A and B are shown apart, each in its own frame.
Chain A
Amino acid sequence: MAEKVPMTALSPTMEEGTIISWNKKEGDTVAAGDVLCEVETDKTSVEYESSQEGTLLRIIVGVDGSASVGQTIAIIGEKDEDLSGILSEVEAEGSASAGPVKEEPAPSAPEAPASPAPRESSESGETKNEETKAAPLPPKEDSPGGSRIKASPLAVKLAAERNINLSLVKGTGTGGRIIQRDIEEFRGVPGGAGAVGGTVTGGAGGSAVPADQEIPVTGKRAVIAKRLSESMYTAPHYYLTTSVVMEKVVEARKLLNESASGKVSLNAFFIRFVAEAIKRHPGINATWRGETILQHGSIDIGLAVDAGNGLITPVVRNCGNRGVRDIETDLVDLIEKARTGKLKPEEYSDATFTISNLGSFGVEEFTAIINPPGSAILALGAGKPTPVVRGDGSIGAATVMKMTLSCDHRVIDGAAGGRFLRELQLLMEEPARLLF
């Protein structure tokens, strides 16, 4: 009996996935646990392991095609099975994909749309409700006027093919309906492949002005936008800045790197110091939950990493009792995975505290947006030679780094934030304090 293979939620926040590659081809035998395909989720790329067995009879969503969670991406069953019934069900699901999808000829006789078959719950245990599963509807977002966007079905289809956001298109049809002509004449924002071309020529000189580009907000970018906006709009942020004389940290690192094979990064040291400061001020390591504040036992520190296609924060778990070398081992592995898009959801979710380091770009200081569910984030600037007054009153040059702590005032009051930052500063300036 042929079964539909649904897209499943491969990350906690995934609503849609894009097929990067198919590891099985039509006609291949599939055992439970075999990797069917590789899927790019909102955060990373994940191998889709089959929970079903049989022969891969039909690939519905091809490479570069995307499917929302619950939507059918393939059909598995027995060789030479008649697929007409199941294919018409799949057809009735609608095709959510903007990417290439294998097309089946439409059934010639008019028939009532088959109701989507009940879905089996996916291996990850996470299934989405009917709304997210349904085929994409014509957009319902509000237009500037506040009413629903009206567009002809053809215009909706063309806009999807060309990655055009309908809310940017002015409708010239009856009652402001967006029609084919409006999509074809829309030249504001050509996007990626398949986008409407359009060169706007300039004024007197006649030199060409590069056309605007519209980049679709999908997957990871959408998640970053949503989560950070939520954080910024809901968590009352305040910021505390201090300077750290870095000499002792640099010295300690030098000592370690001389004594052992393999270099340990400064970031591992920062994580170590932050973990220690958190142990001493555990109120920092907490999550606002409305009715309660959850103070976490494990100190899980995320490090913001530029993965090329957007920010991701791999998390080093349980840093409270770990040395820098141990932390570094984790970091090297995680950063490599982050850059190649191989992080698993459990490797980038639920940091209780986050560090963002823009020192390598020469940034002196900055304020960061808190990364939920944490309640604080530490922004590190570049270490810079600076004149300092030493304890004995003498003046000299030292490498000084500025760091800014962003706190959620609902969880961490200013004094608590200040005490934590002071602790951190003292630890970094005098690593021997780790001992007492």
Chain B
Amino acid sequence: MPEIQMREAIRQAMDEEMERDENVFLLGEEVGQYNGAYKVSKGLLDKYGERRVKDTPIAELGFTGLAVGAATVGLRPIVEWMTFNFALLALDQVVNNAAKMRHMSGGQMKVPIVFRGANGPAEYLSSQHSQALQSYFVHVPGLKVIAPSTPYDAKGLLKTAIRDDNPVVMMESEMTYGLTGEVPEEEYLIPFGKADIKRKGKDVTLISYSKPVHMVLRAAERLAEMGIEAEVVDLRSLRPLDEETIYASVRKTNRAVIVDESWPMASVGSHVAWLVSRNCFDDLDAPVELVSSEDVPMPYNHTLELAVQPTVEKIVDAVKRVTYKE
């Protein structure tokens, strides 16, 4: 099976779907002539032309609104936001229009649209450009939210997203665009609402998604050296959420640590922690732990920048607490 980069996997998904359905088109800042700020859309302009690969002005609210309108009249736009930090401008179109139209029209209107781009801290980008903003989107009924960690998951989920008749937000990560992984040549789709066990274990359940999954897997290796077999659950899909896989794992291990790179308050991580506490109460041997970013704006200083995010050490410490190994 070929090993390809995450950016190539995402490109393949868009390419295949654009080829399959001529209503699918891509728009965003520098997606065309520049081949994408992160080269995700490389070659698509040459292949599909300016009618289906549109470079937009630096005006997120405007081009997002344009895309939502296009979706309601039958096209299937893919909106690339350069990063989610800039997408905050477009939140009104996403929350008040894309997420609501199907509901408010009694099902007469559909909004088949995908919003995608880089989310979460990268490096040396300071407070305004290092935010993990998934709570803003996951919070809203009417949206679906996916956050893959591997090229395989990204391609399979994005193809499902493009075919979905509802607005889907795909949250990627600048730090993983160069990450390689096996992706089959034949076509495949990954359904929403299915988590993936990235590592089997029996002593503790580590729940994460998106970029931190890789850190969690490194922590699991460290834990294995200490004799603790961690099971790593990659949520992949945040809304809908695969609760059954989470509960089955926690009921087996009796301990849960959630690793989420967003801030701790009202986050995906805190929500999952509540679900586990609520639904696995009698199976828990320790309170659920949440390893998140610290509750501060991102510092520019690199040492501090790393210190406020989840680290392998923080994850290992949390596992020690839930296994009472301190």
Contact = CB atoms under 8 A, between A and B. Distances in A.
Given A108-B243, A108-B244, A110-B243, A179 B279 contact: no
Contacts of B281: 153
B85 interface: no
Interface stretch (B16-24, B106-114, B183-191, B282-290): B282-290
Contact of B324 (A109, A110, A153, A174): A174
A153 B279 contact: no
A264 B283 CA distance: 60
Nearest to B281: A153
A155 interface: yes
Interface string A390-423: 0000000000000000000000000000000000
Nearest to A178: B285
A152 B284 contact: yes
A222 B281 CA distance: 30
B284 A154 contact: yes
A132 interface: no
A154 B282 contact: yes
| Chain B interface size range | 10 to 19
A109 B321 CA distance: 29
A173 interface: yes
B278 to A, nearest CB: 6
A179 B254 CA distance: 11
Interface in B305-321: 321
Interface string A163-196: 0000000001110000111000000000000000
A172 B325 CA distance: 10
B279 A110 contact: yes
A365 B275 CA distance: 65
Contacts of B282: 153-154, 156-157
A106 interface: yes
Contacts of B324: 172-174, 179, 181
B285 A110 contact: no
A174 B285 contact: no
B71 to A, nearest CB: 29
Contact of B321 (A108, A156, A174): A174
Contact of B285 (A106, A109, A152): A152
| Chain A interface size range | 10 to 19
Contacts of A181: 324
B243 A180 contact: no
A179 B243 contact: no
A91 to B, nearest CB: 12
Interface string B267-301: 00000000100110111111000000000000000
A109 B324 CA distance: 31
B286 A173 contact: yes
Contacts of A106: 279
A154 B285 contact: yes
Contacts of A152: 284-286
A180 B254 contact: yes
B283 A154 contact: yes
Contacts of B283: 153-154, 157
Nearest to A109: B243
A311 to B, nearest CB: 37
A156 B275 CA distance: 20
Contacts of A110: 243, 275, 278-279
A154 B275 contact: no
A153 to B, nearest CB: 5
Given A173-B324, A180-B254, A153 B243 contact: no
Nearest to B321: A174
Interface string A136-156: 000000000000000011111
A433 B321 CA distance: 81
B288 to A, nearest CB: 11
A153 B278 CA distance: 12
A179 B283 CA distance: 11
Nearest to A112: B278
A367 B207 CA distance: 66
Nearest to B326: A174
Contacts of A109: 243
Q: Please indicate which of the listed interface residues B275, B279, B282, B285 has the most CB atoms of chain A within 10 Å of its own CB.
A: B285
B321 A179 contact: no
Q: Please indicate which of the listed interface residues B244, B254, B281, B324 has the most CB atoms of chain A within 10 Å of its own CB.
A: B324
A153 B244 CA distance: 20
Interface string A97-116: 00000000010111000000
Nearest to A108: B244
A106 B280 CA distance: 10
Contacts of B243: 108-110
Nearest to A113: B278
Nearest to B274: A110
A108 to B, nearest CB: 6
A152 B281 CA distance: 9
Contacts of A172: 324
Contacts of A173: 285-286, 324
A180 B204 CA distance: 13
Contacts of B254: 154, 180
A180 B283 CA distance: 10
Nearest to A158: B285
Contacts of A155: 285
Contacts of A153: 281-285
Given A154-B254, A173-B324, A180 B285 contact: yes
Interface string B229-247: 0000000000000011000
A152 B287 CA distance: 8
Contacts of B278: 110
Contacts of B286: 152, 173-174, 179
A96 to B, nearest CB: 13
B319 to A, nearest CB: 14
Contacts of B279: 106, 110
A60 B278 CA distance: 23
A-B complex: 4 closest residue pairs judged by Cβ atoms = A154-B285, A180-B285, A152-B285, A153-B282
Given A154-B285, A179-B285, A179-B324, 12 more contacts: A108-B243, A110-B275, A152-B284, A153-B281, A155-B285, A156-B282, A172-B324, A173-B286, A173-B324, A174-B286, A174-B324, A180-B254
Interface of B: 243-244, 254, 275, 278-279, 281-286, 321, 324
6 contacts: A110-B275, A155-B285, A157-B283, A173-B285, A179-B286, A181-B324
